[in-house]
Structures are given as structure tokens and as C-alpha cells.
Structure 1
Amino acid sequence: MEFTAGRVMRRAIGRHRGRMLAGCLVLALHQATEAAVPITIGIFVDRAVSSGRLEPLLWCVLMMFVLFAVLSNAWKAGARQVVRAIEYETHLLRLEISRRVLDPRGHQTGLRSGELLLIATSDAEKASLVLRAVSLGFAGSTALAVSSVALLLVDVPLGLGVMIGVPLLVLGIQTLSPLLTRRTSSQQEAVADTTALATDLVGGLRTLRGIGAQHNAAERYRRSSQQTLKATLRAASTNGLQDGVTTALSGLLLAAVAGVAGWFALNGRITIGELITVVGLAQFAAEPVGLLGYSGQVFAMSRASAARLASVLSSPFEIATGTSTAVDPAAPLLSLQDVSYKTLSSVELALQPGELVGVLCYDPRDADALLTVVAGRAASHEGRVLVGGAAVEELDIDLVRRSVLVEQHDTDLFEGTLRSNLLAGTSDPSGLERAVSAAAATDVIEAHADGLEHPLADRGRTLSGGQRQRLGLARALLAAPPVLVLHDPSTAVDAVTEELLAEGLAEVRGADGLATLVLTSSPALLGKMHRVLVVSDGAVVAEGRHAELAETDPAYQEAVLR
């Protein structure tokens, strides 16, 4: 679906039309009663004060009481409806952006994680403020309409002057909106860029300190922050200019209307009460004009954020998928037929149930390319990738993800407990102990007094690299996918633990009739595989058991037996 800033904003109004209608009407009632206050005071002066009678005075006091009661309650009720609509819309937009970013088909936004985070939070909130802009604009327009009608009833030239002057004033103020939108958009892009940079720097802080590059990184962040500051000041100066123009022009309009009304009162054309009404309405008109100016600012800011949201929601998927769920039980669980992608050239591979296959890539680029292909993230490749005998691009994406699980070398753990991290890939905890034991991670659990309930920090940063690797492997084993693809699952553990891990992996995956593909150069892991494929210069150049290859292939010996 193609999204634009206008579509995002119109949809926001449409899916909260009930609350928006109620909020706009009640806020309009608030503004109408505010406009009625100077009218009531004028009537009070002409009908009660001038005549000296008690009855009109009592009626005027009662009317003022009712007006202020309606005025205060209408604002609270209307604002409540609009705020609820804004919060619900913000929530929906955040969920939408999160679903789009986390979609397994990927996205081609070209944005970094920090930028996407800012769009999902700050921009979602600002785009929802179009609801506030609409409600305030409607309420302000209602107040000006009531004021203009009242002035027409008092004196037609005065009413016409306000009815003509106010729209011209509003149009003049709105000429600054395109500039405000551009500067607000530039500011939000600068903030997103700085946020993304900060996220990257925090994530790689240990590495930066290790190579002594923290000072260069800090200088880069300082320059980015200065650009953000300049963009923010430009947007703020435009906001201030619009506020100043609004205040100055509304003040001039007030002075003109009050001056003309005073002249008419001196000439007896209008009464003292009508003069009070005219001056009061002219003074009050500054408020709805200010509301219209403010709603214009909010609308401009909302449009800039909506454009950024639309760019993510409309971004094309990295890979194409189908809807088929039909697979052949007799076919290999995963097969690659004459696949060429990046550094790979005509790779053939087939995984049968219960089979453990190792892959040794002399060039790390070949391993990365192979992982991208089997994970279904290769946007364009030659040859065919089949899952259960069906082309992966024809299958439903959820079926592909359930069938093939790729556990990356850099394990991702989440804030929570050890238990919640291990159960993240399954709803069945019955095999938890077995999976932890097979991944040689029992000592990780037993090292903490609260065991599986031990809390983890974000990304599991309180654990060592080896502990994170083993927990990630245990989580993958517990998920029990038909095809499990592992990339160097033992690089951060010692030799004894690596041997235990290799034995546990072979026992669990082989016994359950599940296929496993391991990209590694570890002799302990390769020794447990049913067969090993050797990839050199992007092509499979040898295949056999680990022991056979270690005896007959010098290049294999050099890469593995180190």
C-alpha cells in the first residue's frame, strides 16, 4: 500500500472520527460560549444597568453563571476526547511501524536502527497531533463565526470588517506554514541522524575503547549534535516568527475594530452595551486567531512527521514471498539448486531429516552469502532455494520462518530473565532442561542463585560472549525447527565446553530427526557432522566426512587442524 503524509493524516482522522466529532463539537461549544460572554455583558449593560431594574439583572447573572459552567465543562470534556484519540493513534502508529520494521521480509528504507526508533516514537507522537490541529482549528473557526455574526447584528460594516479581515489575517499567517514544514522536517531528520549515531556509538563503545577511537567518535557526535542544534534553532525561529506575526496582526485588528466602534458610539450609532460587546469580541478574536495560528504550526509539524512515517510504511520489501503452504514430506527439508549469489557460484546442497551437515568456507564472505540465502533474505539470486520441495518465494513467510531457523554468530538476548529468553522461540517449556544441557549451558544457569529467574540486562551485556552463545544455542534447540542453521556457535567457548556442545547438538538434533546445517571451522563440531561441504571461491570443491577430509585435503587440514 502506498502511503503519503496526507494519507497518514487523513487516516488518523478517519479511524477516530467518533471521538473527533464529539471532541470538535464540544470544543466548538466552549469557544462559542466564550464568544457569548462579551455579548452577555453588553446585554447586561443595556438591559439591566441602564434601566436600573432588578429582574433583568437577575436574568443576566443567571445567564453568566450558565455560560461559565458550560464553558469550563465543555473544555474539559472536549479536550479529553481529543487527547484520547491522539494517544490511541500514537499507539496504533507505533505498532504499525514496529510491525513493518520487524517484518521478516525486511525493508528497504536505508535507515539505521536509531532513526527507525525515533520514527516509531517521536514521529508517531507528532504525526498524531494532526488530531489536535483539526480540533483546535474547528473550535477557533467556530468562535470567529459566532463573533462575526454577533458583530453583524450590532453593525453590518463592523461585522463585514471582521469577516473579511480575519480570513485575510489567517491566510497571511499560513504563508509561513510551508517554510515551517520544511524546517521542521530538516530538524527531525537531523535529530534522527544524531540519535542513530548515538545508538551506534553506545553499541560499539567497548570496541571503540579497545582501539582508542573514543575521542574521534565523540568528535563525530559533537559535529552531528551541532548540526541538529542549528536545524532546531531554524525551526524554532520560524515558529517564533509565526507567533510574532499572529500576535502583531491580531493586535492591529483589535485596535482597528475598537477604534471604529468607539467612533460609532460617540456618534450614537451604537449603544454603550454594544460598544462593550464589540470591544470584547474584538479582544476575544485574538484567541481564536491564535488558535488557528497554533493549529497551523502543529499541522506543519505533524505533516513532516507523517511524511517520515509514510516513507517507512511504503518502503518495499527486501524479499518477495507467496501464500502457499503446500510442501512435499518426501522432499529434502532444505535444498539449494545451482544457487549463485554474491561470492557464491552454482552451489548445490540438500538437507534430509535427521542429517547434520557441516560447511567449511575458506572465505568468510562465502559464509555470509550462504547464510543470507538460506535465511531467505537474498533479494535476488540465481538458482532455486527449496523448502520441503517448494520454492521459498512461493511459500507463506510464516511457514518459511517456522521451517528454517538461522541462529547468527552474534547472539541477541533481551532484557528479561534467563527463562524468558530461552522460551522466546517456543511455547512448550518441556524440553528446556534437555536443550540447556545439550548447549553446555547448565553452568550458566547454576551460576546464579535464582537460576532461570535471573534477570538479564539489555542484549545480555552482563554475560560473557561464550555464555551468550550457549544460551542462544539452547534457545534454538528448544525451538526445534525442522531446519536449524548455525554460524560459528562455539567461537567464544573453551575446547572442553566446545566438545560437550558438539556432542549435545548431535544428540538432540540427530535423535529428533531434524536437519542441521553448521557453518564452522571447529574440528569438534565438524567431527560430529554426517558430512562436510568445503566451499572455496564460492563453489563446493569437496565433500566427505571430517576425518576423511582431514587426512586427504591439505587446505582443509590447514583451515581446521590449527
Structure 2
Amino acid sequence: MSNPPTRHDGGAILRRTIRRHRRRLGGGTALLAVHMLAETMVPIAIGAIVGRAIAPGSSAALIWSIAALAALFLVLTAAWRVGARLITRAMQQEAHLLRVEVAGRILHPRGARTDLRSGELLTIATSDAEREAWILDVIPRVVSALTAATVSAVALLVIDVPLGLAVLIGTPVILGAMQLAAPLITRRATAQQEATARAAAMATDLVAGLRPLRGLGAEHAATERYRDASETALTATLRAARARGTFLGVSVTVSALLAVGVAGLAGWFALDGRIGVGELITVVGLSQFIIEPLGMLSHTPGDLATARASADRLALVLGAEPVLPAGTRSVPATCDLELRDVAFRSLDGLTLRARPGELIGVLAHRPQDGEALALLLSGHVPPQDYLGTVTVGGVPLGDIEYTDARRALLVEPHHTDLFAGSVGSNVAAAGTDPDAVRQALVASAAAEVVDAHPHGVDLEVADRGANLSGGQRQRVALARALAAAAPVLVLHDPTTAVDAVTEQAIAEGISGLRHAAAEGRSRAHTTVLITSSPALLAVADRVLVLDDGRVVGEGTHGDLAEVDENYRKVVLR
């Protein structure tokens, strides 16, 4: 049921929704049509009771008529309850499936090529997923309303041809007029949802960056930007509501005028003797009742426009091309990492190699070189966006099957987030056993965090680690990266928020956990430390010095500190 649409556009998504809920939709639509049919029969039945039981004074006919009317109400109620339940179930399930599908597409390791920001993606995964499912409510509403209008017209035709023709001609005219306004409502609804999503995206960014904004004293400027975005969203919402309200008011008025006209014409015919008292009651009842299905039809273009606009926005995510190639090759358990003549962002002709089992340090004189290297190795950059080759275990990074690539090469960025839960659940996110979790906590000096708390590894972590200090968050994130035990691990400035003593402990912990002998054999882990920390660089087997986007020096930490003045200035500060 979760197969993607064959064509990634709003129409294809709506059609897929209808197909995969066709059983509930078909059953619910049939039952709701029966409900409306039964409701249409109520004024007809009442008119028949008056004309054939009350007027002639037949007690037996009255008793049978009341029993039949009671049965009609039983069918009416039961059909509504079961039909509405089926439709509601289908709508909720579709909204759930879309939320999961959009989240899976956003979080897919291959990425999605889209310019949408996180707040817009959140709106699409929630509000738009729910509104697209409205199509499952629109269809049974249209079918049941048309059923009621058709039966009413047929009944009026039986009573008197002009009355029936008034409904048969008036209803299509009203429906045709309503469709003329549908494109305008669709455009207004799309603009509203886009503006609202942009405002939500900006709010998300502002909340996430609240501390830096306060530090810069930019709260006022940020508030003004959000106010402008919110006013734009408000304007778009009011325009959409104005269009929808004007359309609804006009359509309801026209529908009511049609009903009043039919009732007035029936009254004239009754005075003229063309129809009887029972038929007059039936006509008046139907003319009042027909306002309900016509009102349901008047809401249809607005709801359909909203569902289509949401489907179009869902297609922006579900139809987005993957950023990364799928890859088909695997890599050996023991891997080296090699870059040859790489040009990406500030990197220009970078060549380096980290051999299996080697711990190397990378000192970047320019911060942008270190950031570019970490981003490139993260696997989030498609091969066409850089020049040169990046290989893991001798296999080009873009050719490796993406899940295998994530297992073989793990990059822990400088800025990282923790999940809501506990310290243990964050470190063991990849299903690591408790012993490995403990080893990673010790190696990252995060054991101090859990050992000092009565709950230990069950210490609660708020969303993004908001209840932890910067140093604690950094150590827990480092423990998570170490616990994954990836053959190649790249760490970008993993100790900037800790003191010198803790930094030294972390340096020894990383070296001991990933590169010390274990049970008589050497571990074949490869580790790359992009840092200017003297403690981390000191435990490296080799240190590569980057400047102007390429390697300009190489040696041990001690040798470089002795012969390279620039190295001493940056590292031994």
C-alpha cells in the first residue's frame, strides 16, 4: 500500500489515494448514498402518509405507514453510522500513510533534492498529509448529494413534470457555475499553504537559533522578519477565506432560491388543483431538503481545491529526485580512505590517504577547508558536485550501496543533535550492546556525565539535548559515534566544548578504543580527526596540514610542532 505514485504530481497522488482505499471508499460511498436516499424518501413518505392514510382516515394504513417510516429511519441511521466510520477510517489511515511516506522520503539516506526548509517539510508531513486525505470525503459527499438531487428530481417529475424539470435543469446549472470558481479557489488555497509553510519554517529556524540570536543582539531584526512572513501568511489566508466564503455564500443563496422557487411553484399548482395536499407536502419537504445536498455540493470545490493543493505540495517531496546515487557495490570490513585530486568548495586538488588501522589528524589552517572535507566525506554530496575521486576500501564512494556506505564510513560533524530519550538510547541508537555502550561512554569521557547522576545511562535527554551543557552534549554525541564502530570514522572538532583535562582523556580514549590491540590482534579501524586540538593531534600516527584547499605539510605532531612555525601558532596556543 505504500508504493510511490507512478507520476509524482498532485493528480497522481490523489488517484493513488483513491485506488488504495477503494474498498472502504466504495463501501462507505454506497452506504452514505443509501443514507441520502433514505433521507430523500422521508418527505416522500410523509406526503404519502398524509395523502393515503390521514386524508382518507384509514387507521390500518396509518399504522403500516408509521412502521414503514420507522424502518426508513433505522436504515437511514445505520447506513450513516457504518458509512461514516468507513470513510473516516480510510481518511485517517491515508493521512498516516502519507506522514510515514513523507518522513521516510525526507530521512532517506540518499536524500531528496528539494529547496524546502525543515519547517516547510514539517508542514507538508502533517497538515498537507491530512488535507490530501480529504479527497476520500469529497467523493462520497458528491455521490450521496447527487443521489439525493436525482431522486428528488425523479419524485418531482412523477408528481409534476415542470417541478421535476426545474430541479433537473437547475442543479446542473448550479454545479457548472460552481466549477468556474474552482481554479481560483485552488490558486488561493495553494498560495495560503505555501505562505503558511514558509512562516512555519522561519519560526522553526528562529527557535533553533534563539541562543545565537540573543548573543548577536539580533532578536528585533529576527522578530521583524517573522512578522513580515506571518503577515504574508495572514494575507494569503484571508484571501483564500474570502474567495471560499464568497463562493459558498453565492452557491448557498442560489440553491436556496431554487428550493424556494420549486416550493412556490408547487403551492401555485396546489391552489390550481393540479396536485393534492399529500403531493404538496412532499414537494415542500423535498424543496427544503434539497438545500442540504446542494449545500454539500457547494462545499466540494473548496475542499477539492485544498486537497489538490496539498497533493501538489506532497509531490514536491515524494517526487524529489534522490541526491545520491543508489550504488551497488559493497566494501570490505577493513577499509582505507583515499582522496585523489579532489576539488570541492574550498578544497583544490586535495590528495590524502588514511590506511587501514591508521589514526591520522588533519589540521586545516582555514576552517572552511575542514568543513568542506567533513561534508564531502559525510556521503551527502553527489559525485557530480565535486571533482576527483573519493574511495573507501578502493571503491568509489558514489558506487557503494548507500546503507553499506553508511556502515563503512561514519562522519560525526562538529554541530550535531541528540534525540529525546536517555543517554543510553542516544548512544545505542544503532542497536549497540550494553558493553559497547559503556566502552564508548568511557572513551568519550561521557561516563562522568552518567556516573554523576543517580539514573546513570537512563539520564533523561531533552530534544536536541537542551537539558545538557555544551560539553555534555558533545561527549554523548562522540560516544554515539564511537559505539557505532564504523571501519572508517571521521570526527570534526569533537572536543571544542570541553576543558583541557577532559580533552586529553578523550584523545587517549579514542586511540585506546579504536586503535589499541584487542584480544591479541590489532583492530583495523581507520580514524580521521579534523581538529586543531594538540591533545588529539598528539595521539595521531600522522598529521596532515591543509591550507589553500590542499595538503601543505605532513608528519607527526611532535615533528610539525618543532619545524613548522605556523603549525605551532595554531596548535600550541
Tell me the TM-score normalized by structure 1.
0.97
Q: What residue number does 1:459 align with?
A: 464
Aligned residue number for residue 510 of structure 2 = 505
**CA deviations over 1:332-359 (Å, ceiling 9, x no partner):** 4322222211221222222222211111
Q: Counterparts of 2:336 and 2:46 in 1: how far apart (Å)?
A: 84
Query: Is 1:437 matched with 2:448?
Result: no
CA deviation string 1:99-127 (max 9, x = no partner): 11111222221111111111111111111
Match of 1:364 in 2: 367
Q: Report SS of the residue matched to 2:363.
A: strand
Residue aligning to 1:147: 152
Give the corresponding residue for 1:520: 531
RMSD between aligned residues: 1.4
Distance (Å, rounded) in 1 between the aligned partners of 2:256 and 2:512 = 83
Taking the aligned partners of 2:32 and 2:542, their CA distance within structure 1 comes to 74
Distance 2:441 2:169 in 1: 77
| Conserved? CA contact 1:328–1:390, under 8 Å | no
Secondary structure of the structure 1 residue equivalent to 2:552: strand
Task: State whether residues 176 and 242 of structure 1, in contact with CA within 8 Å, keep that contact through their aligned partners in structure 2.
Answer: yes
Which consecutive unaligned segments of at least 5 residues does structure 1 have? none
Equivalent runs, 1:75-114 vs 2, <5 Å: 75-114=80-119
Corresponding position of 1:11: 16
Report 1:514-553 matches (<5 A). Answer: 514-553=525-564
Question: Which is worse superposed, 382-391 or 432-441?
Answer: 382-391
Tell me the SS of whatever aligns to 1:51: coil
Return the alpha-carbon distance in structure 2 between the equivalents of residues 508 and 517 of structure 1. Answer: 14
CA distance in 2: counterparts of 1:405 and 1:273, whole angstroms: 82
- Aligned pairs (5 A) from 1:239-250: 239-250=244-255
Structure 1 Cα separation of the partners of residues 7 and 547 of structure 2:
43
Q: Which residue of 2 aligns with 1:304?
A: 309
Work out the CA distance in 2 between the residues paired with 1:515 and 1:401: 15
2:519 is matched with which residue? none
1:329, CA displacement in angstroms?
6.2
Counterparts of 1:329 and 1:62, CA distance in 2: 80
Distance in 2, matches of 1:546 and 1:60, equals 101
Contact 1:137 1:295 in 2 (8 A): yes
Give the 3-state SS of the residue equivalent to 2:347 in structure 1.
Answer: coil
1:48-69 Cα distance to aligned partner (Å, 9 max, x none): 0121111111111011101111
The secondary structure found in structure 2 opposite 1:405 is strand
Q: CA–CA distance in 1 between the matches of 2:537 and 2:347?
A: 21
**201, 207, 214: which one aligns with 1:209:** 214
C-alpha displacement of 1:296: 2.0
Indicate conservation of the 8 Å contact 1:357/1:532, yes or no.
yes
Pick aligned residue for 1:555 from 545, 566, 571: 566
Q: Identify the residue that residue 123 of structure 1 maps to in structure 2.
A: 128
* Equivalent in the alignment of 2:496: 491
Residue 485 of structure 1 deviates from its aligned partner by 0.7
| Deviation larger for 514-523 or 378-387 | 378-387
Q: Which amino acid aligns with 2:572?
A: L
Report if aligned partners of 2:252, 2:298 keep a CA contact under 8 Å in 1.
no
Specify the alignment match of 1:333 in structure 2. 336
Of 185-194 and 519-528, more deviation after overlay is shown by 185-194
Determine whether 1:224 maps to 2:235.
no
What is the CA-CA distance between 1:323 and the residue it aligns to? 2.4
| 1:338 partner SS | strand
Counterparts of 1:99 and 1:155, CA distance in 2: 59
Please name the residue that 1:343 is paired with. 346
State whether residues 174 and 293 of structure 1, in contact with CA within 8 Å, keep that contact through their aligned partners in structure 2.
no
Describe the SS at the equivalent of 1:345: strand
What is the SS of the residue equivalent to 2:211?
helix
| Matching residue of 1:354 | 357
Distance 1:428 1:440 in 2: 18
1:264 to 264, 269, 281: 269
CA distance in 2 between partners of 1:248 and 1:324 (Å)? 66
1:430 Cα shift?
Answer: 2.4
How far 1:382 sits from its partner (Å)?
A: 1.1
| d(CA) in 1 for partners of 2:326, 2:397 | 7
For the residue of structure 1 that corresponds to 2:187, the secondary structure is helix
TM-score (norm 2): 0.95
Q: Distance in 1 between matches of 2:26 and 2:329?
A: 43
**CA-to-aligned-CA distance 1:69-107 (integer Å, 9 cap, x gap):** 111221111111111101100001001110111112222
Q: Which moves more between the two structures, 110-119 or 447-456?
A: 447-456
Matched AA of 1:101: I
CA distance in 2, matches of 1:96, 1:208: 34
User: How far apart in 2 are the matches of 1:25 and 1:44?
Assistant: 28
Question: Does the Cα contact within 8 Å between 1:361 and 1:519 map onto a contact in 2?
Answer: yes
CA displacement at 1:529 relative to structure 2: 0.6
Q: Deviations over 1:17-42 (max 9, x none)?
A: 11101110111111000000011011
Q: Deviations over 1:149-202 (max 9, x none)?
A: 212222222212211110111121222221111111111111111111111111
Whether the aligned pair in 2 keeps the contact of 1:27 and 1:78 (CA below 8 Å) is yes
Q: Which amino acid aligns with 2:361?
A: G
Q: Is the 8 A contact 1:425 1:476 kept in 2?
A: no
> What are structure 2's unaligned runs of at least 5 residues?
1-5, 517-522
Q: Mean alpha-carbon deviation: is it higher for 390-399 or for 24-33?
A: 390-399
| Range with bigger deviation, 116-125 or 271-280 | 271-280
| Residue identity opposite 1:543 in structure 2 | E
Cα separation, 2, equivalents of 1:430 and 1:135? 57
Q: How many residues align?
A: 560
What corresponds to 2:241 in structure 1? 236
- Map of 2:487 onto structure 1: 482
Q: Which amino acid aligns with 1:273?
A: G
Which amino acid is 2:74 matched to? A
Supply the distance in 1 between the matched residues of 2:9 and 2:316 (Cα, whole angstroms).
Answer: 8
SS class of match (1:266): helix
Amino acid at match of 1:66: A
**8 Å CA contact retained: 1:344, 1:539:** yes
Are 1:322 and 2:327 counterparts?
yes
**Letter paired with 1:372:** L
Larger deviation, residues 534-543 vs 147-156: 147-156
